[in-house]
Amino acid sequence: MSTLRFKALETLPFKDFRKDNSVEIPAKLSELFCENVFSENTMREYLTKEAFQSIMDAIKKGSKIQRLIADQVAVAMKDWAMSKGVTHYTHWFQPLTGSTAEKHDSFFTPIEGGRAIERFSGGMLIQQEPDASSFPNGGIRNTFEARGYTAWDPTSPAFIMGTTLCIPSIFISYTGETLDYKAPLLRALNAVDEAATNVMQYFDKNVTKVTPTLGWEQEYFLVDSALYQSRPDLVLTGKTLLGHSPAKGQQLDDHYFGSIPTRVMNFMKELEVECMKLGIPVTTRHNEVAPNQFELAPMFEEVNVAVDHNSLLMDVMARIAHRHHFHILFHEKPFAGVNGSGKHNNWSLATDTGENLLSPGKNPKKNLQFLTFFVNTIKAVHEYADLLRASIASASNDHRLGANEAPPAIISVFIGSQLFRVLEELEKVTEGKLSPDEKTDLKLNVVGKIPEILLDNTDRNRTSPFAFTGNKFEIRAVGSSANCAESMTVMNTIAAKQLSDFKKEVDALIETGLKKDEAIFNILREYIKQCKNIMFEGDGYSDDWAVEAEKRGLNNWKTTPEALKQEMNQKFLDLYEEVGIFNHREVEARNEIKLEKYSTVIDIEARVLSDIARNHIIPSALNYQNRLIENVKGLKDIFDEKEFKKLAKEQISLITNISENISIIKLGVENLMKARETAKAVSESQTQAEDYCNKVKPLFDVIRDASDDLEMMVDDELWPMTKYREMLFTR
Ligand code: ADP
Ligand code: MG
């Protein structure tokens, strides 16, 4: 057999990577922690007291680092890095392409007299100029300035990859527009810090800083490299565009989930070691959901560092997978009919006094504080649900949202039946001043009861896109391939706006003579009334919910173009401007980049699907059909008419069936190519994306269905595409 499929399958039993790549884990993983990170500990060792303090102030208070200090830090970083065999440095950043980018420069600097030194200065640490023309900018650079630069983010620690010192950085144009994921995120984090700290003055004046926290859970698939290479659709689009899914029983068979195959275990062990060295605090090793699907989750961290760690991890995973002869798939839906991959984002707010603001406290006062942040979060999501929806929109996540394994595109909030009842009680609070009896009742019977009820708050709804899980909210609709920064920028922006609105409203009531607690109760009561429609405790996967949600007036933007269109609403443009995240031009540019990316993805999928259908599927089907025809001819030669009719009946019906499917595919490809040409010619990005979504994408199914039918008819030996069962159950 000469097809790639069989070449790939043949390599499987002979490759001895299972033994070769066995990985030893040191007994004490903790000793490796942050080995390759310019961590607080390392800084203390390498920096002067003054420089160390300056960095700590930058991290904790956001203060500027003086140039002289930057020079000291650069020298210390270089000395530390060189002691570990490092020769180059790079600003490591996250442009809007979706992956990470680097431009490696050497420490090596020639000086006079034919000599050279290793040099790394404050200037080099602070700023670098990448070849900006190769990154998307949504036209920003045409309008403003031709060049952009990267700038050191001292709040995320530098680290070593191979022989390169990597410096986490933001990427901005010379006129100050953001061109990456990190810069707006940092702005949003500052905004929520300020707003939440202000609100905290009602409860605890010792709080001077509030830090948002993120704990992500990353799902992924592993596929054997050779099998991956044999599927042009996987290689070119990250997903399979056709392929008959394995029988349901097979998918759910416990036998496949029982033990982690040695090969995968080796990959995981090596990954764990690498994560430790890079300071990524991975604790959960794995758990399988679909065949060949795994999950990894670290301890939560400050949002900015957690986002960097997730991006870094995705790079590292891809490289380590390669060493174990695997290809890693971060696509949200690489296999139709099989569970897809997500990236749950657990979010909360932590104070510099060590409190989690979404954790109920031990007394009524602490619980009022909890309720304040809890209800404000729900209110923020209620006001800006469309923005949160847009932040998770991508061509690949469209396949997953609303399928039977992920929340639908309707943004709702799950809080659990017990907290729901508490909010119902709060809704009954009288307007204006409260009587002493009312106050006592509220304290004892409503607010006071929260810690007790939460102890047995076991109802964890897994079908909600935004669920409260005891001491944090979990955004469950984020796609596995997404950069966490997008949803985190929105989450923190809307929380900042909501908390600062809340402060204004409460202060206004206090002005009218209400006590602080009364004012807070009054505002919370109004919020609860307004947010009722977004709170949903039932099954988010059910069809009934879509109907019910519509009645409640909740939006259900099913596709990326629809979701992205919402971003341009004046309400959101104003929000971004007010909170200081983006100006209108930046929102527009980013929106355009996302729309273009969407159209490009569908366009590539259309081309690849057509090519495979024409060059692989049709010829193989014809090949098999010819065999059948030969067989029928042979039967005709040997048997009399009556006998022949009986014996050749099945074959003839199969021959007809194959012809029908081939015709469907041929016509389907012609229609697809026409639709694609038309969509490609549209110049306005929103309309173009809508065309790709509504006129091009639906044509995929026709071709796929016919091809998947053929897969079941054609002799396995002749079928050119590696099958689902081979990719998913190869251990
Ligand atoms: P599940 O799989 O049921 O969603 P896990 O226990 O696997 O839950 O994951 C919980 C996630 O929540 C972990 O990644 C953890 O780091 C994160 N997490 C826990 N507390 C916080 C917090 N205060 N802020 C942000 N994330 C948190
Ligand atoms: Mg989860």
Collapsed DSSP state (helix, strand, coil) of residue 462:
coil
Nearest CA owner, ligand 1 atom 2: 217
Which amino acid is it at 211?
T
Q: Is the distance from the beta carbon of residue 299 to the nearest atom of ligand 1 less than 6 Å?
A: yes
Give the C-alpha separation, 277 to 699, whole Å.
Answer: 47
Ligand with minimal distance to 460 CA: 1
Give the C-alpha separation, 283 to 296, whole Å.
Answer: 8
Ligand with minimal distance to 215 CA: 1
Q: Is the distance from the beta carbon of residue 214 to the nearest atom of ligand 1 less than 6 Å?
A: yes
Q: How far apart are the CA of 346 and the centre of ligand 1, in A?
A: 6
Q: How far apart are the CA of 398 and the centre of ligand 2, in A?
A: 19
Q: How far apart are the CA of 323 and the centre of ligand 1, in A?
A: 30
Nearest CA owner, ligand 1 atom 8: 217
Tokens 């017990």 correspond to 418
**Which two structure tokens, joined as six digits, stand for 621?**
């089907």
Q: Is the distance from the beta carbon of residue 297 to the nearest atom of ligand 1 less than 6 Å?
A: yes
The CATH T-level fold of domain 189-237+250-573 is Creatine Kinase; Chain A, domain 2 (3.30.590)
User: What does the pLDDT read at residue 437?
Assistant: 87
**Sequence ranges of the domains in the chain:** 33-180, 189-237+250-573, 597-727
**Which two structure tokens, joined as six digits, stand for 90?**
């790079």
For 518-582, give the secondary structure using H, E and C: HHHHHHHHHHHHHHHHHECCCCCCCHHHHHHHHHCCCCECCCHHHHHHHCCCHHHHHHHHHHCCC
**Which two structure tokens, joined as six digits, stand for 641?**
């008419």
Give the C-alpha separation, 730 to 716, whole Å.
Answer: 17
Indicate which atom in ligand 1 lies nearest the CA of residue 284. Answer: 7
Give the C-alpha separation, 611 to 594, whole Å.
Answer: 26
**Which two structure tokens, joined as six digits, stand for 322?**
């390669």
Q: Is the distance from the beta carbon of residue 215 to the nearest atom of ligand 1 less than 6 Å?
A: yes
Backbone angles phi, psi at 231, to 5 degrees: -115, 100
DSSP 335: S
DSSP 302: E
Ligand with minimal distance to 213 CA: 1
Ligand with minimal distance to 283 CA: 1
Our CA angle for 186, 464, 362, nearest 5°, is: 70
Q: What is the CATH number of domain 33-180?
A: 3.10.20.70
Q: How far apart are the CA of 311 and the centre of ligand 1, in A?
A: 18
**Which two structure tokens, joined as six digits, stand for 699?**
């044509």
Indicate which atom in ligand 1 lies nearest the CA of residue 347. Answer: 25
Q: Strand 164-173 relative to strand 159-161: parallel, antiparallel, unpaired?
A: antiparallel
Backbone angles phi, psi at 475, to 5 degrees: -90, 110
The CATH T-level fold of domain 597-727 is Four Helix Bundle (Hemerythrin (Met), subunit A) (1.20.120)
| Helix axes of 484-511 and 516-531: crossing angle, nearest 10 degrees | 130
Collapsed DSSP state (helix, strand, coil) of residue 473:
strand
**CA-to-CA dists, residue 127 to 43, 154, 159, angstroms:** 20, 12, 17
Nearest CA owner, ligand 1 atom 13: 215
Q: Within the chain, which residues score under 70 in pLDDT? A: 1-2, 13-21, 132-134, 138-147, 247-259, 284-288, 404, 452-459, 730-731
Give the C-alpha separation, 332 to 339, whole Å.
Answer: 9
Indicate which atom in ligand 1 lies nearest the CA of residue 476. Answer: 4
**Which two structure tokens, joined as six digits, stand for 702?**
């026709």
CB atoms near residue 399 (< 10 Å): 18
Which amino acid is it at 167?
I
Most ligand 1 atoms within 8 A of CB, residue of 300, 457, 459 to mutate: 300
Q: Is the distance from the beta carbon of residue 605 to the nearest atom of ligand 1 less than 6 Å?
A: no
Burial degree of 448 (CB within 10 A; 0-12, 13-18, 19+): middle
Q: Is the distance from the beta carbon of residue 344 to the nearest atom of ligand 1 less than 6 Å?
A: yes
The most distant pair of C-alpha atoms in the chain lies apart, rounded to whole Å, by: 105
Most ligand 1 atoms within 8 A of CB, residue of 346, 454, 462, 473 to mutate: 346
| 98 CB-near residues (< 8 Å, 6+ apart) | 481, 483, 597
Indicate which atom in ligand 1 lies nearest the CA of residue 344. Answer: 4
Indicate which atom in ligand 1 lies nearest the CA of residue 297. Answer: 14
| Whether the Cβ atoms of residue 148 and residue 119 lie closer than 8 Å to each other | no
Give the C-alpha separation, 131 to 128, whole Å.
Answer: 10
Ligand with minimal distance to 346 CA: 1
Which amino acid is it at 655?
I
Q: Is the distance from the beta carbon of residue 346 to the nearest atom of ligand 1 less than 6 Å?
A: yes
Most ligand 1 atoms within 8 A of CB, residue of 472, 484, 487, 492 to mutate: 472
Collapsed DSSP state (helix, strand, coil) of residue 148:
strand
Ligand with minimal distance to 344 CA: 2
Q: Is the distance from the beta carbon of residue 351 to the nearest atom of ligand 1 less than 6 Å?
A: no
Q: Is the distance from the beta carbon of residue 300 to the nearest atom of ligand 1 less than 6 Å?
A: yes
Burial degree of 729 (CB within 10 A; 0-12, 13-18, 19+): middle
Give the C-alpha separation, 213 to 131, whole Å.
Answer: 33
User: What does the pLDDT read at residue 255?
Assistant: 41
Backbone angles phi, psi at 602, to 5 degrees: -65, -40
Which amino acid is it at 319?
R
Handedness of CA 18, 21, 26, 29 (dihedral sign): negative
Give the C-alpha separation, 98 to 120, whole Å.
Answer: 29
Q: Which long-range contacts (CB under 8 A, 24 or more apart) does 641-649 make?
A: none
| 420 CB-near residues (< 8 Å, 6+ apart) | 535, 537
Tokens 């019906």 correspond to 653
Q: How far apart are the CA of 707 and the centre of ligand 1, in A?
A: 42
Most ligand 1 atoms within 8 A of CB, residue of 211, 217, 303, 309 to mutate: 217
Indicate which atom in ligand 1 lies nearest the CA of residue 216. Answer: 14
If you write DSSP's letter for every residue of 89-108 in order, what string do you get? EEEEB-BTTSS-B---EESE
Q: Is the distance from the beta carbon of residue 356 to the nearest atom of ligand 1 less than 6 Å?
A: yes
Ligand with minimal distance to 357 CA: 1
Which amino acid is it at 217?
E
User: What does the pLDDT read at residue 567?
Assistant: 96
Q: Which of 98, 345, 100, 322 is nearest to 222 (CA)?
A: 322
Q: How far apart are the CA of 303 and the centre of ligand 2, in A?
A: 17
Indicate which atom in ligand 1 lies nearest the CA of residue 359. Answer: 23
Q: Is the distance from the beta carbon of residue 345 to the nearest atom of ligand 1 less than 6 Å?
A: no
Q: Is the distance from the beta carbon of residue 213 to the nearest atom of ligand 1 less than 6 Å?
A: yes
Q: How far apart are the CA of 201 and the centre of ligand 1, in A?
A: 27
Which amino acid is it at 399?
H
Give the C-alpha separation, 569 to 561, whole Å.
Answer: 14
Tens-place pLDDT, residues 129-155: 877 666 777 665 454 444 688 999 999
Q: How far apart are the CA of 469 and the centre of ligand 2, in A?
A: 9
Note the Cα 224 to chain centre separation in Å: 23
| Whether the Cβ atoms of residue 590 and residue 582 lie closer than 8 Å to each other | yes
Nearest CA owner, ligand 1 atom 17: 215
Q: How far apart are the CA of 345 and the centre of ligand 1, in A?
A: 8
Give the C-alpha separation, 557 to 434, whole Å.
Answer: 42
Backbone angles phi, psi at 507, to 5 degrees: -55, -40
Strands (E), 40-157: 88-92, 105-106, 108-111, 115-118, 127-128, 148-152
Nearest CA owner, ligand 1 atom 1: 217
User: What does the pLDDT read at residue 686?
Assistant: 97
Handedness of CA 586, 591, 592, 596 (dihedral sign): positive
If you write DSSP's letter for every residue of 601-628 in order, what string do you get? HHHHHHHHHHHHIIIIIHHHHHHHHHHH
